[in-house]
Amino acid sequence: MTRQPTLFLTVGLPCTGKTTAARRIEIEHGALRLTKDEWVKALYGHDNPDSAQRVIEGRLIEIGLRALELGNNVVIDYGLWSRDERSALRQAAADLGATVELRYFELPAAEQRKRLDQRQAEAPHTTWPMSDEELAEWAASIEIPTPGELDGTEPIDNPPGGFATWKEWRNHHWPPAGG
């Protein structure tokens, strides 16, 4: 009997510990780790173009879903700030017979800033400059997971209006090519 694969989702703002946790999950659970920032850095260097974000995320998600289909654990290592993103991925995993573990990371703003400054000083090739204004804007926009979302007891939402399925929404939100 084959084991049921798990999709691990890391949720949180920059410098809250997502990648550190994803690396630990990768080792402890034999998971394929898909870290968007590593791909953006490899492809664009110092640039961080908005136009590339969702395309890269979408391609990594497709790789991750294929790995789940093949019976492998996967950890998606990027913010997943919207409930719709998390719902779409929870549904995709369920459609493949996989379980989902959602991990939320948060820190006080001062500690987040301290970690970001430390990362900029010690490993600038792994990140981009982020202003206090950007951090505050992002903190105001994240949809914090509910306890039921975190423990998996809350049903997956229906797709937003205009979308018949979560797969349709995924293909719209994470397009197959830039544009």
What is the identity of the amino acid at 73? N
pLDDT at 1: 45
74-86 pLDDT tens trace: 999 988 999 999 9
Distance of CA 173 to the CA centre of its chain: 13
Cα 108 from Cα 81, distance rounded (Å): 17
pLDDT at 61: 94
pLDDT at 124: 66
pLDDT at 12: 92
pLDDT-flagged residues of the chain (< 50): 1
Q: Are 29 and 16 in contact, with CB atoms under 8 Å apart?
A: no
* Radius of gyration for the chain, computed over Cα atoms and rounded to the nearest angstrom: 16
Query: What value does the mean pLDDT of the chain take?
Result: 88
pLDDT at 152: 92
